[in-house]
Structure 1
Amino acid sequence: MTEFMQRRMTNPVYVGKVMVGGTAPISVQSMTNTKTDDVAGTVAQIMQLGSAGCDIVRLAVPDMSAALAIKEIKSKVQIPLIADIHFDYRLAIAAMENGVDALRINPGNIAEANHVAIIVKEAKKRSIPIRIGVNAGSLEKSILEKYGGHPTPAGMVESAMQHIAILEKLDFRDIKVSLKANDVPMTINAYRLMSETVNYPLHLGITEAGTIKSGVIKSAVGIGALLAQGIGDTIRVSLTGDPVEEIKAANEILKSLGLREYGPTLISCPTCGRCNINLAEIAEQVEQKLSQVRKPFKVAVMGCVVNGPGEAKEADVGIAGGKGQGLVFRKGEIVKRVSEDQLVTALFTEIDKLIEEDN
Structure 2
Amino acid sequence: MSARDLSLLEAAPRHPAKPRHKTREVRVGKLVFGGENPVWVQSMTTTDTFDVEGTVAQIKKLEEAGCELVRVTVPKPEDVGALTQIKSRIGIPLICDIHFDYKMALTALDHPVDKIRINPGNIGGYDRFRQVVRKAKDKGLPMRIGVNAGSLERELVERYGFPCPPAMVESAIRYIEIAESEGYDQMVVSLKSSDVNTAVEAYRLFAKFCDYPTHIGITEAGKPPYAVTKSGVGLGAILLDGIGDTIRVSLLGDSVPEITAAFDILLASQRRVRRPELIACPTCGRLAIDLEKIIAELEKRLEGKRTPVKISVLGCVVNGPGEAREADIGIAAGNGKGVIFRNGEIVRNVLEAEMVDALLEEVALWEKENPQGKPAVDSHGRKRLPVLS
With structure 1 as the length reference, what TM-score do the two structures score? Answer: 0.85
Q: Deviations over 1:38-92 (max 9, x none)?
A: 3233223323333333322111112222222221222122211111111223322
Pair 1:32 & 2:50 matched: no
Match of 1:297 in 2: 309
Q: Work out the CA distance in 2 between the residues paired with 1:111 and 1:298.
A: 50
CA contact (8 A) 1:106 1:163 kept: no
What are the equivalent positions in structure 2 for 1:96-107 lying under 5 Å apart?
96-107=109-120
1:124 Cα deviation from its structure 2 partner: 1.1
**Pair 164,353 (structure 1): closer, same or farther in 2 beyond 3 Å:** closer
CA contact (8 A) 2:288 2:333 kept: yes
Supply the AA of the counterpart residue of 1:58. Answer: R
Task: Give the SS at the match of 2:92.
Answer: coil
Pair 1:109 & 2:122 matched: yes
Match of 1:216 in 2: 228
Match of 2:351 in 1: 337
Q: Deviations over 1:299-339 (max 9, x none)?
A: 3222124443554466565555433x344848453364144
Q: 1:70 aligns with which of 52, 69, 83?
A: 83
Q: 2:141 aligns with which of 98, 121, 128?
A: 128
Match of 2:285 in 1: 273
Supply the AA of the counterpart residue of 1:100. Answer: V
Q: Work out the CA distance in 1 between the residues paired with 2:16 and 2:60.
A: 35
**Pair 166,71 (structure 1): closer, same or farther in 2 beyond 3 Å:** same
With structure 2 as the length reference, what TM-score do the two structures score? Answer: 0.79
Q: Work out the CA distance in 1 between the residues paired with 2:201 and 2:360.
A: 48
Q: Work out the CA distance in 2 between the residues paired with 1:133 and 1:179.
A: 6
**Pair 117,152 (structure 1): closer, same or farther in 2 beyond 3 Å:** closer
Pair 1:176 & 2:188 matched: yes
CA contact (8 A) 2:314 2:331 kept: yes
Supply the AA of the counterpart residue of 1:252. Answer: D
**Pair 286,173 (structure 1): closer, same or farther in 2 beyond 3 Å:** same
Q: 1:82 aligns with which of 76, 89, 95?
A: 95
Q: Work out the CA distance in 1 between the residues paired with 2:200 and 2:100.
A: 28
CA contact (8 A) 2:23 2:211 kept: yes
Q: How many pairs were matched up?
A: 352
Supply the AA of the counterpart residue of 1:81. Answer: L
CA contact (8 A) 1:107 1:167 kept: no
Supply the AA of the counterpart residue of 2:140. Answer: S
Once the two structures are overlaid, the 10-residue window that deviates more, 82-91 or 306-315, is 306-315
Pair 1:54 & 2:40 matched: no
CA contact (8 A) 2:122 2:153 kept: no
Match of 2:379 in 1: none
Q: Work out the CA distance in 2 between the residues paired with 1:335 and 1:37.
A: 61
1:265 Cα deviation from its structure 2 partner: 0.4
1:286 Cα deviation from its structure 2 partner: 4.2
Q: 1:229 aligns with which of 241, 246, 269?
A: 241
**Pair 42,147 (structure 1): closer, same or farther in 2 beyond 3 Å:** same
Match of 1:42 in 2: 55
CA contact (8 A) 2:121 2:151 kept: no
Q: Work out the CA distance in 1 between the residues paired with 2:55 and 2:306.
A: 24
Once the two structures are overlaid, the 10-residue window that deviates more, 313-322 or 75-84, is 313-322
Q: Work out the CA distance in 2 between the residues paired with 1:353 and 1:23.
A: 28
Q: Work out the CA distance in 2 between the residues paired with 1:168 and 1:293.
A: 43
Q: Work out the CA distance in 1 between the residues paired with 2:146 and 2:261.
A: 21
CA contact (8 A) 1:56 1:81 kept: yes
**Pair 135,110 (structure 1): closer, same or farther in 2 beyond 3 Å:** closer
CA contact (8 A) 2:289 2:352 kept: no
Pair 1:241 & 2:253 matched: yes
Once the two structures are overlaid, the 10-residue window that deviates more, 280-289 or 298-307, is 280-289
Give ranges in structure 1 of 5+ residues lacking alignment.
Answer: none
Supply the AA of the counterpart residue of 1:17. Answer: K
Pair 1:185 & 2:203 matched: no
Q: Work out the CA distance in 2 between the residues paired with 1:196 and 1:353.
A: 43
1:266 Cα deviation from its structure 2 partner: 0.6
Task: Give the SS at the match of 2:157.
Answer: helix
Once the two structures are overlaid, the 10-residue window that deviates more, 49-58 or 175-184, is 49-58
Give ranges in structure 2 of 5+ residues lacking alignment.
Answer: 1-14, 372-389
1:355 Cα deviation from its structure 2 partner: 10
CA contact (8 A) 2:329 2:359 kept: no
Match of 1:199 in 2: 211
Q: Work out the CA distance in 1 between the residues paired with 2:211 and 2:128.
A: 26
CA RMSD of superposed structures (Å): 3.0
CA contact (8 A) 2:121 2:147 kept: no
Supply the AA of the counterpart residue of 2:259. Answer: I
